[in-house]
Structure 1
Amino acid sequence: MACPVCNLSGGTAANAYPSVDLSHLPAQEQRKYFARFEEDFVEFERLREQVRPLVPSGIPLWPGTAFGPLHGSAWGEFGPLSLIHAWELLIRREPFERLQAEGLRGLKGCRTALRFRKKNPPELLEMELVPRGEFHSDCLPERPLPCPKCERRELKCPDEPILDAASLPEDQDLFRLAGFLSMIIATERFVDAVRRLSYEQDIAFRELPVRGA
């Protein structure tokens, strides 16, 4: 689907709200939110506005945004935290509760609908990560505004990312970068807790500089 204003086509796989429940919609309407190609932009806008009250205020809903629990088949062993994609973080129930007990802010884990063949499968939660924060202008001097029609903006990740201190949230220790949704940002508090609890088994952290105005 191409936007009639900015002409960008395609969508994102890095924006998901697993807590959003669409079961109140008729089955035929629910199917319209499955992964597919919508050719009618007017219909896309209708579907987008229909679910907007169900997500946090001000959240962009780009084409490709997913709603509801993660489905699919799962196998193998899962550590405390697992990335199934660079932008999709799963966490086992006990580590999630221990991180919450550490006082980390804004953590939201949602049950998945993954299917395991083995007995006693782990209870995996998908982290719902809201978009917050931006790149600093020193690493991204040209920052296009979001399209007023489809809400997307065409950004490339800088080779050496720098975060804008003024844009970072004070109520979230784990979030997506609003300017680049496939990048998950963790605060120093989150990283320290994960390392102290020995949960850094299947993930790796990269320190990013933060710069003020």
Structure 2
Amino acid sequence: MDYFTLEEDKSLGYVAYIGCDHKWLLPGIRRCPGCQTSWGAGAKSYPSVDLTPIASLADFEEPRAEPIEEYERLRELVRPLLPPGAVVEPGTGLGPLVGKAQGPFGALVARFAWLLLARREALEKLQAEGLRGLKGFRTELRFRQRNSPELLELEFLPVGRLHPDCLPPDRKPPCPRCGRIGLTRPADMLLDAATLPSHLDLFRLEDFSTTIVCTERFVEACRHLGLDGVAFQPLPMK
């Protein structure tokens, strides 16, 4: 099985605008006692999650950094509501996308590297092809146009990692307190074949979660169905 990253296909000439964030989010960490770093990644997101059963919703509405103990407290409130296999980190987005958008849009929309949207009809066609792990959830985007499309956000599980051979040999291990890796994604990525899922055709990497990965089955289905909006780049593995 071959694997690919996907990105916005700029050759199509679409000039689309999306200004958005998720309805709720976990806070970042302020000065972790383990690595002395303040951080919040935010590439991982779960649009399927509904936080309305939580009484203190205001704790999840404002982007901010908190002491790690407060982050961990809020993370544990969220954990029972997450989909199976979910992995969270400081800044994780939850619930539907909210914001403004203006097209034109292709069948698939990859305006940001860590986020993939699809027109409902495009997602249904892909699901009918038997592709695995494709789940789309409604957005609350406000469109500045007539005949606005129904865009769904695809939810990805974080699975798979980069091979150590493409990472710096003198890298430090993840922080034992907060789990921060502290590495910049390498320009030449190499997938670790032993960590890749056999049951998903679309997923994001666990260690570099801004990277969305798809299988050749996904690429072939998009080409067969004539779905535009994204371009694919092969990813080697070892």
User: What's the TM-score once normalised by structure 2's chain length?
Assistant: 0.82
Higher deviation after alignment, 16-25 or 155-164: 155-164
Count of residues paired in the alignment = 208
Q: Is the 8 A contact 1:135 1:161 kept in 2?
A: yes
The separation in 1 between residues aligned to 2:206 and 2:220, in whole angstroms, is 23
Aligned to 1:22: 51
Change (3 A) 1:7 1:57: farther
1:107 matched to 2:134: yes
Determine whether 1:97 maps to 2:124: yes
**Cα distance change of structure 1 residues 148 and 35 upon mapping to structure 2, 3 Å threshold:** farther
Residue 129 of structure 1 aligns with which residue? 156
Secondary structure of the structure 2 residue equivalent to 1:67: strand
Please state if 1:8 is matched with 2:37: yes
Aligned ranges 1:58-73 → 2 under 5 Å: 59-73=86-100
Report what 2:203 is aligned to: 175
Q: Which runs of 5+ in 1 are unaligned?
A: none
Query: Contact conserved, 2:49 with 2:83, CA < 8 A, in 1?
Result: no
Q: Cα deviations across residues 57-91 of structure 1 (Å, max 9, x unaligned)? A: 55432111010000001112111001121111100
3-state DSSP class of the match of 1:180?
coil
1:165 equivalenced with 2:176 (yes/no): no
Does the 8 Å CA contact 1:60/1:151 hold for their aligned counterparts? no
The alignment partner of 2:66 has SS state of coil
Q: TM-score, normalised by structure 1?
A: 0.91
Percent identity between matched residues is 52
Residues 16-50 of structure 1, C-alpha deviations (whole Å, 9 max, x = no match): 10100001123xx2122124213332211100111
Q: Where does structure 2 lack aligned partners over 5 or more consecutive residues?
A: 1-29
Higher strand content, 1 or 2: 2
Secondary structure of the 1:189 match is helix
Mapped contact 1:155–1:179 kept (Cα < 8 A): no
2:7 maps to: none
Match of 1:155 among 183, 196, 210: 183
- Look up the equivalent residue of 1:204 and give its one-letter code: A
2:72 matched residue in structure 1: 45
Q: In 1, distance between residues paired with 2:46 and 2:150?
A: 18
